[in-house]
Amino acid sequence: MDERPPLIVLTGFLGSGKTSFLKHFIEYQTQRSRFVAVIQNEIGAIGLDGKLLDYTVTEVDEGCVCCSLAGSLGRAVLGILAAFSPDTIILETSGAANPFNLLDEMQALEELVRFDCTLTVVDALNAEQTLAEHPVAAEQIRAADLLMVNKQDLVRPDRLEVVMERLRELNPRAPRFVTRNGDLNPALVLEVEDRPHDRNAGRGPPSTHPPHLQNGLWAKSIPFHRPLDHDAFLKAVAEFSPAVFRAKGVVEFSDSPRLMLFQYVNGRHELSVLSGRRLTERFLTVIGKGGDPGRELLALRALTADGAD
């Protein structure tokens, strides 16, 4: 019996729904008395997703586990195995990471973990635009053993079929599961058949790919040291330029004592109450490509009394 814990690579472009899937996955496993260890990395100075999960997370901030921080994945896995006995390890890559860059390091971890699968989450609502503007999104799809096509409820059936056909072109062998709110039966992930050791077969070039920041992506984190005016905040968000395609953070408004989780993807935003969370940081991480983020950053910093960096 193989006693090595399976390792699942969870990838997908920014805002596709990886954290939503992860929360469902952990809940499913916990109900079955299984312990899930999570390794996350974030773009931006403040890692948000690790703060939203009530589980042990080894975060690797200010870089990408699978490209710019060589060796850090191995240290994270060793640390988890030394401190816990996880039934499953999930590596959630940053949304702008290229999974092909994990191949060499995954081979070095074969004695510690059993590579299970790569699950790529696709934002069905924004897939066409994302694929047109961000080549790494296509690489994430090509790398997948499973494709989770998320946000089905936000897409017309004819547009969804166009997205599905594009996914078939990029990766004809990966099963495709259509979901909403990141809710995919975790058994579908764990029951993937073992693949050959050569993970490059049929997936495109195996060579090293440039880190995401070399592709023109930028990320800025803005701390908020006091509650914000609700209307002024939403006005600043409404004036984001097309260069901003993703933003997320934790905010507090002056007309309410409740902490709010803010999510923004390509012009659409959501605010939800963070109940039972003991978070001290109030911040917003803004992610974009090209353009000059100066105007957006000035407007957001103007919402605070001191305009702190």
Q: Are residues 37 and 160 in the same domain?
A: yes
CATH number where 258 lies? 3.30.1220.10
- Does any domain span residue 51? yes
Residue 178's domain comprises: 6-211
| Domains of the chain: total | 2
Same domain, 26 and 172: yes
The C-alpha atoms of residue 10 and residue 140 are separated, in whole angstroms, by 10
* Residue linked to tokens 């109900």: 31
110-167 residue pLDDT tens:
889 988 889 999 999 999 999 999 999 999 999 998 899 999 999 999 999 999 999 9
| Average pLDDT of the residues of the chain | 81
Pure H helices in the chain: 18-31, 72-83, 103-108, 127-133, 135-142, 157-170, 186-190, 230-238, 294-301
Same structural domain for residues 98 and 226? no
pLDDT of res. 307 = 41
Average pLDDT, integer, range 227-248: 90
